[in-house]
Structures are given as C-alpha cells and as structure tokens.
Amino acid sequence: MRRPVMAANWKMHKTRGEAEAFARAFLPLVKEAPDVDVVLAPTATALDAVSRVIEGSHVALAAQNVHPAEQGAFTGEISVGMLQDLGCGYAIVGHSERRTLFGETDAQVAEKAHALLAGGLVPIVCVGESLEQRETGQTFAVVGAQLQESLSKVDAAQAEKVIVAYEPIWAIGTGKTATPEIAQETHAMIRERLGAQFGEAGTAMRIQYGGSVKPENVASLMAQPDIDGALVGGASLEPESFSRIVHFQRETAGA
C-alpha cells in the first residue's frame, strides 16, 4: 500500500515571518492527518524558520533545489549536508521551472537525486511534458526519457524512497488541471517504466501529480489508482487551502 504524500512548493514566495506564520497556523489544521506524509518546501531563506516550528511534528521539510557536491566553490548553491543541518528530509529536483528557466538537465537531476539519497534525503524528481509535446503526441517519449535519465544513478535498493512528481508543464500555475483520466494515463505509464527499471521496488514508488491541484479537484485525482499524492504550488500558499488538500478524503470526488 503506497502512503499518500502531499507536498507544498512555495517557489519564491514568503519571507521568514510569513513562512513561520503559515507553519504555526497550519500545524493544528493537519494534526489529524497521520496517514498522509505532509511536506513543506519553503524558499531557502525560510527553511530554518519553518524547521523550528514543525520540529517534532509529523510535517516534514523539503528544499526546492540542491547542489550535488559536498562543498566547494559553487557560489549561491546549497549542499545536501547543509539541508540536513536545517532538518530537511526531502528536496525537489528537476522542477520544470528549474529545467526551463535555469537550464537544469536530466544529467544534473540524476546527480542531485544520487547525492540526496546518499545523504538520507528523499528526492522528489519532477518530470513532465510541454503543451507542444503533448499536442504532437510526444508525452510518453518525453516523460519516459526524463525518467530514465533522471533516475539513472538510483539503484533498485534505493528506488522505493524516491518520489516521482508528474507535472505536465501546461498545467502548472495555469489553472488548467489535467483531467484525472489524462493524469492517470501518464501515471500508469510511469508506473510501468519504474517497474521495468527497478522491479518490485519500482512499482512501490510513489508518484505525485502536480499542476493546478486545488481542494476542489484533489479527491478526483487521488481516486485514480496510480496517483499517490500531489505537488502543489499556488493552492499550498494558504494554510486552510493546503490543509484541505492534505485531508483530501474529506473533499468530494468530482471533475
């Protein structure tokens, strides 16, 4: 049984004070959600503030990026050890904004995932196609290649820890959610590829959906057999909204 995992990606939003206020308001709202893994990914400058508030709770901390080297002359970068020091249990790698705006490649994502696993952190590895790629029938080829290359440095013994986030780029921040059926179709393909690459461990890996997930659509997405959670941007910025997503069983499944 795959445990649902709901992650908030705050991107470049919230000062330390705002992030801390979110965490203080959010914790009481999710204390009755012990069967769901809940993860907050603040911007790097707010990691420490959020870490102090959620310490000892079942809410976990994630970074939005990491550098694979242990240390060195990498101005502006943050290592796995530094994230451990802040209390991070997870890090998002290969988000489409990092791929398209900052040129992050599958090879870099693979290095990052490898370094995170070596340091005991869970990588949330993002994959997803553009609108043009979808419209020209390339979704499975693009996502399949991203998966294969981004996970090329993960071995079967570690695979079960890794989370894959399928985020069609055309659905991120646009208000256009993939229908549950469209999302499920790609999730099923991803599950099959993970199984082929990692065997039993691959089929046990959790696959999140991301792209305009909201309290109103989360239940219908989570009702799909291969959707194990959500990576949420806009709708994770308010405690009440993200707590409704965490409590997806309480929302009514509809389109």
When asked if residue 17 is in the footprint of ligand PEP (CB under 6 A), the reply is no
- In whole angstroms, how close is the CB of 81 to ligand PEP at the nearest point? 25
| Residue 4, amino acid | P
Stretch of residues binding ligand PEP (CB under 6 A), selected from 27-35, 61-69, 106-114, 225-233:
225-233
- In whole angstroms, how close is the CB of 162 to ligand PEP at the nearest point? 17
Integer Cα distance of 40 and 229 in angstroms: 14
Smaller CB distance to ligand PEP: residue 108 or 208? 208
Catalytic residue flag (residue 95): yes
CB closest to ligand PEP, residue no: 233
Catalytic residue flag (residue 167): yes
- In whole angstroms, how close is the CB of 86 to ligand PEP at the nearest point? 21
Smaller CB distance to ligand PEP: residue 163 or 201? 163
**Contact with ligand PEP (CB under 6 A) among 5, 6, 8, 9:** 9
When asked if residue 39 is in the footprint of ligand PEP (CB under 6 A), the reply is no
Q: Are 90 and 122 in contact (CB under 8 A)?
A: yes
Phi, psi of 22 (to 5 degrees): -60, -50
Tokens of 174: 């646009």
User: For residues 140-179, which are near ligand PEP according to CB under 6 A?
Assistant: 167, 172-173
**Contact with ligand PEP (CB under 6 A) among 128, 168, 233, 239:** 233
Q: Are 164 and 194 in contact (CB under 8 A)?
A: yes
Stretch of residues binding ligand PEP (CB under 6 A), selected from 25-33, 79-87, 113-121, 232-240:
232-240
Smaller CB distance to ligand PEP: residue 192 or 216? 216
Nearest to 162 by CA among 91, 85, 68: 91
Smaller CB distance to ligand PEP: residue 166 or 198? 166
Q: Active-site residues: which are they? A: 95, 167
Residues that bind ligand PEP (CB under 6 A): 9, 11, 167, 172-173, 210-213, 231-235
